[in-house]
Structures are given as C-alpha cells and as structure tokens.
Chains A and B, each alone.
Chain A
Amino acid sequence: MGTRTVVPFGPQHPVLPEPIHLDLVLEDEKVVEAVPKIGFIHRGFEKLVEKMDFNELVYVADRICGICAFIHSMAYCQGIETVMHVEVPARATYLRTVWSELARLSSHMLWMGLMADAFGFESLFMQSFRIREKIVDMLEEMTGGRIILGVCKVGGVRRDVDNDTLAAIVQRVNVLAADMRRVSDVFLRDDSVRHRLGGVGVLTREQAEDLGCVGPMMRASGIARDTRTLGYAAYGSLDFEPVVETDGDSYARCAVRIRECVQSVDLINQLAAKVPAGEVAVKVSGYPNGEHHSRCEQPRGEVIHYVKADGTRYLQRYRVRTPTFANVPALVKMLQGCELADVPVLVLTIDPCISCTER
C-alpha cells in the first residue's frame, strides 16, 4: 500500500489548451481520485443580458469560445428566431450549415493536434495544424474572420458567398481531405499512437449514459445519438448517420472524430451541390417574447442555448450549457484508477473547451 500524495495538475500546464485545475490523489503512479476545479476563465457572459439587447447578444455568443465560435452564434440566433417565429431563408440555412461543418473540421483538426501534443508526438501536432490553417484561411476568405466569424445574425447571415466561390472552396476542401487522411492514418495505424491511446479511459455504454456524456464521448461508447439528426438549419435535407464506435476507449474517440471529419467533407459536398438561390437575411422587427431551448451539435457534443424573453429589448435569461460541461463528470470518473502519465491523454480525450464551459 503506497502513501498518498496530492499532485496539482493545472491550471497552467503545457498540455492544457485552457486552464482547468485537477487535484490528483496519487498512490505511487496510479491516480486514486481526482477533484476538478474550474472557474479560471469565468467571465460572467450570462450577466450581459442586462446590458446588451437581444441583437447585440449575437456578438457575445460569437465570443464565448475560441474554437467552436460559429455554432454558438448559430444556436443563439436559432433560439431567438424560433421565439419570434422568423423564417430564415433557405440559402442562409445552407450557408450556416457549410460554415458549421467547416468549423467542425477546424475544431477536430485542432483537437487532433493537441492530442498528439499530449502524448508527445510534436510533428504530428504540427501536421494537423498545418491542415487546420488551410481551413481557417478558407473561412477568412468567405466571412472575414478565422474563428470568430461574425456572420450570423437574427434573421439570417450577414455575408453572402456566390456559388462560384463556394464551388472553389469545396474543391479545396476535397483536395485537403486527401491530406487529412494521410495525417489521420498516422493516428489510427501507427503503433506508438495505439499504445498511448488504446485501452485508456474506457467508458462502457452504461457509464456513458449515466454520466450524461454528449458528443464523440458517447458515440465512441456505442450510443448512436447526434443532435444534427434533429434537422435544424439545413441538416434536415442532408443524408448522414451518426458516427459510432463501440470500444469506448481513447482510440475509439479518436476514430470517431476522424470519421466525423470525413463525414463533414461529405456533408459540405452535399450542401454545395444543392444550395438554393435567394436572399440571405430577412428583416426582423419587434422584440422576442417566450422561451426556447435551442440545440445544436458542436464538435464536442450537444450545446443548449436557453433564451427567455418577455417582450422587451433585453432578454430575461440567456443560458448556455456547453458540451464540455456535460463531459466533465466523465473525465472525473475516467481519471479514477488511471496512470499518471495517462492524465494528459484523458484530459484531452474529452476535448475540453473550458472557456465554453465557464462562459
């Protein structure tokens, strides 16, 4: 029986993209217990409803996260549009979906790079980021921003992309897909990567259900649920299935995210083939009155934007429940019984976006 030591992990740690603190109780090299502490990046976004009216909150929603920003603003706009019964033009929904899928690609490539960095494979990290750079360049050419796109507004989108430009972008995405496959093959087939990822952080299907996991965490444990199947934006007219693996370990989660990248490329091709012509925004007048839970599928899982309005300019409540918030209990459970050297892999396997979690 070894003696127990408490090792503080974070909030500043080379492997963490954002600050989170874990108190790891160790017995020799095994983690017996882990107590998380978040709150280092709490900015009190939800209190801004008192100062900013419902149109200005789109800018706030855009800036909740530094990786998955666009889908936040889309979810917020969808919530307000449902409350105000605004019908967004079809072209706008298609453009929103294209940008969501590109954001998903860029987020998954970022995650792959960070995961490689977590187990020490720096050149793979750089290769993933090299590909991601091309994706954010495409986003910048279409919208003006690399991550914080600033293109969503209540009633549609603020920028239009003509069909020729869109076709050229899709062409570049397809070329990039071959590059992505070369890099993701290293993740899936390289022996050293398999040793680091295989069998680490196993979550059975029951555990994933009990802990309320969302996103690739639950899909890697065999639960075939994807919020995109609800049919928001243009997803109703697309043909896709949730990507599922059954092993439930870090390798399975990596495989789910890589296959989702491939699926995103396919979805972007489907969208570009049938994007309709027309307006990209409708004029919205009046104030919202009512409440709605707007749900979207972020790269990390299901995000819920709850808006409650009472007919004035300012909302009564704006609450964002991000996917990492739902995945943190799974992290705590997975850390019990793991090796100390696996802690970075486990922290990154939930794809932590702590700035989303704490808003």
Chain B
Amino acid sequence: MAVFGMTRVVIRNLFSRPATRLYGTREKVPHRAPRSRGHIEIDIEACIFCGACARRCPTDAIIVTKPAREWNIDRLRCCTCNACVEVCPVKCLRMDAAYTSPTVTRDKDIFRAQPKPAKESTTSG
C-alpha cells in the first residue's frame, strides 16, 4: 500500500545511529577530507618573495613586501582557490585542510603569517 512507504523509513531511523555528524558534542574536530581546502600555510624560510602568488591571487588577499621580507594574507579575502600554491616557484605554499578559526575583527585586518625578516647571513629561530 502506498501510504506506509515512509513509515518503514521512520521506524528504521528510530533504531539506528543519528545520520548527522555530532560535531560539538562527540566530535571535537570538524570533519575534513585530506584534500579539503581549509587555509594556506607558508614555509616562510623557503619563500623567495618573488610576489608571483600575490599577482596570481584573484581576490588580492596576499601582499608580499620584498624589502621587509614579509608575506601576509588576508584570511577573510582568501577563497582557498589554490592558485598561489600552484604558481609558487619554490613550492613553499601549501593548502592545509583545517578551517581558519573564527575572528571578531573586520576583514581589513591582515593576519601576518610569521613576518620574520631573515637576514642574509643568519638564520633566525
């Protein structure tokens, strides 16, 4: 009979686990796949400050300052498109799967990813 089709589904659901991910109560880390696009990480020591990533970024989220040896990214502008990772000539950028943490500051604030001006002859820790 065509009226009780859904009843079977409902009864089956009553006796099985929840279909939703119990993020917040049981799972503390959000579910991500290895390839998920989360945020950009940089190995600042390997960066040569060529600026290719900044030129390629479609949302102008990356600003590279060569004299100050500084690379900064506006996390809220970054749309995790992976263009910078693909264009980097020394492969110092990579896409990490974890989400960025929430913030209360406006998107004009720039999150500095390790602005360590490394001198030519010394390596800073």
Do any CB atoms of chain A lie under 8 A from CB atoms of chain B in the complex? yes
Query: A residues near B, CB below 8 A?
Result: 52, 56, 59-60, 63, 121, 123-124, 127, 130, 133, 137, 140-145, 150, 158-159, 182-183, 185-186, 189-192, 194
Q: Across the interface, do A142 and B35 meet the contact criterion of CB distance under 8 Å?
A: yes
The 7 closest A-B pairs by CB, nearest first: A144-B35, A141-B33, A56-B58, A189-B2, A144-B37, A130-B19, A186-B5
Tell me which residues across on chain B come within 8 A of A127, comparing CB atoms: 9
Interface of B is mostly: loop
Pick from B62-70, B78-86, B101-109 the stretch touching chain A.
Answer: B78-86
Interface string of B45-57 (1 = CB under 8 A from A): 0000000000000
Q: List 17 A-B contacts (CB under 8 A).
A: A52-B58, A56-B58, A59-B58, A121-B6, A123-B9, A140-B33, A140-B36, A141-B33, A141-B34, A142-B35, A143-B35, A144-B82, A144-B95, A145-B36, A150-B81, A190-B6, A191-B2
Q: Across the interface, do B35 and A159 meet the contact criterion of CB distance under 8 Å?
A: yes
Bound Cα distance A158, B35 (Å): 12
Query: Is B3 located at the chain interface by the 8 A CB criterion?
Result: yes
Bound Cα distance A159, B81 (Å): 12
Tell me which residues across on chain A come within 8 A of B34, comparing CB atoms: 141
Tell me which residues across on chain B come within 8 A of A159, comparing CB atoms: 35
Tell me which residues across on chain A come within 8 A of B19, comparing CB atoms: 130, 133
Tell me which residues across on chain B come within 8 A of A158, comparing CB atoms: 82, 86
Tell me which residues across on chain A come within 8 A of B9, comparing CB atoms: 123, 127, 182-183, 186
Query: B residues near A, CB below 8 A?
Result: 2-3, 5-6, 9-10, 19, 33-37, 58, 79-83, 86, 95
Bound Cα distance A141, B34 (Å): 7
Tell me which residues across on chain A come within 8 A of B81, comparing CB atoms: 59, 150
Most chain A CB atoms below 10 A, which of B35, B36, B86, B95: B35
Bound Cα distance A56, B61 (Å): 14
Bound Cα distance A231, B86 (Å): 31
Q: Across the interface, do B5 and A59 meet the contact criterion of CB distance under 8 Å?
A: no
Chain A residue nearest to B6 (CB atoms) is A186
Chain B residue nearest to A52 (CB atoms) is B58
User: Which of A60, A123, A190 has a CB less than 8 Å from the CB of B3?
Assistant: A190
Tell me which residues across on chain B come within 8 A of A150, comparing CB atoms: 37, 80-82
Q: Across the interface, do B35 and A123 meet the contact criterion of CB distance under 8 Å?
A: no
Chain B residue nearest to A183 (CB atoms) is B9
Chain A residue nearest to B33 (CB atoms) is A141
Q: Across the interface, do B37 and A185 meet the contact criterion of CB distance under 8 Å?
A: no
Q: Across the interface, do A140 and B82 meet the contact criterion of CB distance under 8 Å?
A: no
Instruction: Kindly provide the distance from the CB of B10 to the nearest chain A CB, expressed in whole angstroms.
Output: 6
Q: Across the interface, do B35 and A140 meet the contact criterion of CB distance under 8 Å?
A: yes
Bound Cα distance A305, B19 (Å): 38
Chain B residue nearest to A56 (CB atoms) is B58
Tell me which residues across on chain B come within 8 A of A52, comparing CB atoms: 58
Tell me which residues across on chain B come within 8 A of A194, comparing CB atoms: 2
Bound Cα distance A98, B86 (Å): 23
Chain A residue nearest to B97 (CB atoms) is A144
